[in-house]
Amino acid sequence: MGQAMIDLQHLAKKFGDQPVLKDINLTVNPGEIVGLIGPSGAGKSTVIKVTLGMEVASGGSAKVFNATMPNRELLGRIGYMAQTDALYDALSGRENLKFYGLMKGIARGDINQEVDYVAKVVDLTEDLNRRVSGYSGGMMRRLSLAIALMGKPDLLILDEPTVGIDPALRRQIWAELDRIRDEGRSILITTHVMDEAELCGRVALLLDGKVMAFDTPVALKQSYQVTTIEDVFLKAEGVD
Ligand SMILES: Nc1ncnc2c1ncn2[C@@H]1O[C@H](COP(=O)(O)OP(=O)(O)OP(=O)(O)O)[C@@H](O)[C@H]1O
């Protein structure tokens, strides 16, 4: 196994005097999908933001491709999907994809093919020429995911990518995530959908500012002596 794509060691983050992350240890290896789960407000998005250098750590270290972020050169190798969509309402879906694709450094000659491919993955082909202001919430999420997929990044960091996406399309998106993993690329994904956590190679359970458990879904279920990741989650939270 090569060097970790993401390596978080004793990562801590305070907002004012509120400690949100206390001791986060987590790695994402090449060709691995890691799921980050935890109750609302546990700090999942904060882990991502500190990892990407959008927030400054209060302690510990966060390395991506063995470097501290932000690093402009390395950002081009990362596909990031935030929890809130950053889309241009007045532009069409296609125009948004082209804009972000060119920003990522995709060659003009390749851009149309790339746009068509990612649009197909998220089932937006038919709606590409419509203005984003007329999109539903779920369509906007899908467009944001398509943007993150553009340029075949080595690392995808996806903050709740499947919110508002129906089960059939969710399955199609997971098939693409599996393909990405099989190519040796890596994914860090936060989710509230416990069925999705089961599909990850390893799952990190974030609670009280710490990674309480980090293992394969099978091993987590074994150690908590339960049959689903949802039950692992509930047991870790102390809910019977
Ligand atoms: N910029 C900020 N300033 C102050 N507090 C913040 C800031 N960003 C996040 N927080 C606080 O940090 C905590 C963790 O927030 P975060 O968004 O990381 O949680 P989360 O696990 O992603 O939640 P959810 O599942 O609801 O998206 C919350 O209490 C939030 O209010």
Quote the CA–CA distance of 232 and 214 in Å, as a whole number.
12
172 close to 146: Cβ distance less than 8 angstroms: no
Query: What pLDDT digit, counting tens, does each position of 26-59 carry?
Result: 999 999 999 999 998 999 999 999 999 999 999 9
Query: What pLDDT digit, counting tens, does each position of 75-127 carry?
Result: 889 999 998 888 999 999 999 999 999 988 899 999 999 999 999 999 999 99
Quote the CA–CA distance of 188 and 47 in Å, as a whole number.
11
Token duo for residue 75 = 């950002």
Residue nearest ligand 1's atom 25 by CA: 40
**CA–CA distance from 34 to each of 48, 65, 97, 139 (Å)?**
12, 16, 26, 25
Taken in order of first residue, the domains within the chain and their CATH numbers are 1-75+199-240 (3.40.50.300)
Which of 225, 174, 234 minimizes the C-alpha distance to 200?
174
Q: Is the peptide bond before 30 cis (omega within 30 degrees of 0)?
A: no
Is residue 1 predicted with pLDDT exceeding 60? no
Please identify, by atom number, the ligand 1 atom nearest to the C-alpha of residue 192. 25
By residue count, the chain amounts to 240
Buried b (16+ CB within 10 A) or exposed e, 6-18: bbbeebbbeeeee
Residue nearest ligand 1's atom 4 by CA: 15
Quote the CA–CA distance of 234 and 33 in Å, as a whole number.
22
Quote the CA–CA distance of 116 and 150 in Å, as a whole number.
10
Mean pLDDT of 167-171: 89
Query: What pLDDT digit, counting tens, does each position of 187-200 carry?
Result: 999 998 888 999 99
Please identify, by atom number, the ligand 1 atom nearest to the C-alpha of residue 48. 18
Could you tell me what percent of the chain has a pLDDT over 90?
A: 78
Q: Are strands 186-190 and 155-159 parallel, antiparallel or unpaired?
A: parallel
Residue nearest ligand 1's atom 3 by CA: 15
Please identify, by atom number, the ligand 1 atom nearest to the C-alpha of residue 83. 27
Q: Exposed, middle or buried: residue 177 (CB in 10 Å: 0-12, 13-18, 19+)?
A: buried
Ligand 1 centroid–CA 40 distance in Å is 8
Quote the CA–CA distance of 84 and 141 in Å, as a whole number.
8
